[in-house]
Structure 1
Amino acid sequence: MRLAFMGSPDFAVPALRALVDVGHQVVMVYAQPPRPAGRGQKETPCPVHRAALDLGLPVRTPARVRKDEAEHAAFAALDLDAAVVAAYGLILPQAMLDAPRHGCLNIHASLLPRWRGAAPIHSAILAGDTESGVTIMKMEAGLDTGPMYLRDTVPIGPRMTTPELHDALAPMGARLMLRVLAEWPQAMPQPEDGVTYAAKLTKADARLDWSQPADVLDRRIRALNPWPGTVATLAGEPLRILAAEPADGAGAPGLVLADGPIVACGQGALRLTRLQRAGRAAMPAADFLRGSPMPVGSILG
């Protein structure tokens, strides 16, 4: 089929490569514009952009498309059978949704209608869901409201992190999209009940609130690393909490109860297992404590 591909992060790369591998004609790739990255803040293409260049595919990187009629016309001129969209990051206007003969098909990393929106993988872990999955849907003007072609599930283990769930869902999305383009199953409306929304994450979400229960904070640490991360303060300085696990203990929220370190929460306690000070390397808690002691009785903010 004659396709455009629209995506930006690592999640979308397996789908792009799969489409090319099976012989679909990807005539244009759309990706987010290059952005400053690294210590030198050098303009860096996103993962999909880099993959497209590696595959020898043309790339467009408009900063916005909703009201850009020139972009709408350029998209229509591609004469597409369909557009495949995977975490593109820009909202497509109706003119672009309607341009391909079979419309725009989205790879969404949740079991719709649960976790419509920007951060479905993180949200599933934050909420303590026991399963997640991928839904292939036909895009329409509403936020992830379109009819569904196919979906599949994956269990969320009790210690699963966002990167681990991401790595399970990305190839699943590629496989499901290939099936849809080969079989064109009938699209079914989404159920009206069970709708939830996955809000876009910001740096403000990184702050840990020790008054919350230990199981909630445990999920938060697993869900929000590597970005935006989870941060506490120790003696007024920021401390990144990269990994932790529930532990026995009780005390005032944020109080270091025992070596490990074990920190009291609103209910229960957490053993912090991987830590990082600002400007320093991440390291296991035992190594961290040798250089930065955290005595019993210390308070984490």
Structure 2
Amino acid sequence: MDLMDSPEAFTALGEFLRSRRARLTPADVGLVSYGARRVPGLRREELAQLAGVSVTYYTRLEQGHSANASASVIDAISRALRLTDDEHAHLHDLAKPVPAKRRRTARPDHARAGLVQLIGAMDTVPAVVLGRRNEVLAWNRLGHLLLAGHCDFDAPARPADRPNLIRMLFLDPHTRELYPRRQEECRRAIAALRLIAGRHPDDTALAELIGELSMKSTEFAELWCEHPVHNCMTGTKQFQHPELGALTLQFEALHLPDGSGQRLMTYTAAPGSPSEAALTLLASLGGVLNAEEQLSGG
């Protein structure tokens, strides 16, 4: 069965198209508006006109009744909606998802031994290896102390106990306090998760995570319905660390080229900045904790 036959695929595609229609006005695209509008944004017939397709065809596409839209049609709709590059790629993922595979129990993911060894050698840079569902597969001492010092350092090695950064962001009280610009961090996390969900529509574990967060966090559910989409590869994050106070760090998300969806996250501070001094202090704290564990046989 092609996934385009499933209601879930229809809902994701339709919701995305409606959300992007809603943010445009006729004036934005050079059209004259006639009559009162019951809902904000472009009407279906206006978007169809801009994209050069029939209203009937576009309506069927938005309602999930057309599974064979050509790439050129999707491109035309993308241009009409003035999508960003990330949104354009996401629209193609939603409109042409891969055929559904036979559902199987997902195997626990693991970070390669060489990658674990690499981040372990990074003494002054917090680093984390994430699976595509934002589960922590490995972290070095600094990454652990920066993001989740209240968790067991060895938890990523146990699939059943692995911390999940997006789950912690919305459900863990310690993590909630870590980000002073919380709305910005939450929106960025959901925008990246939207892209991942579009690329992997047959990932049942990912769907279960999204369902869990939607049920347990009103904040997540409201932001998820806005359908933000952005591939967050680099940027600046503000932290309010329980021991170090305010930190400003540059993050880089390096996606592994093996198709696993794993990525390496690193956090660095500007040279000579108070944040760099704070990371140096955190590194020394990590060394003390490591020595204590060795003495205790941990």
Higher helix residue share: 2
TM-score, normalization: structure 2? 0.23
- The structure that is strand-richer by fraction is 1
Structure possessing the higher relative contact order (Cα contacts under 8 Å, 6 or more residues apart): 2
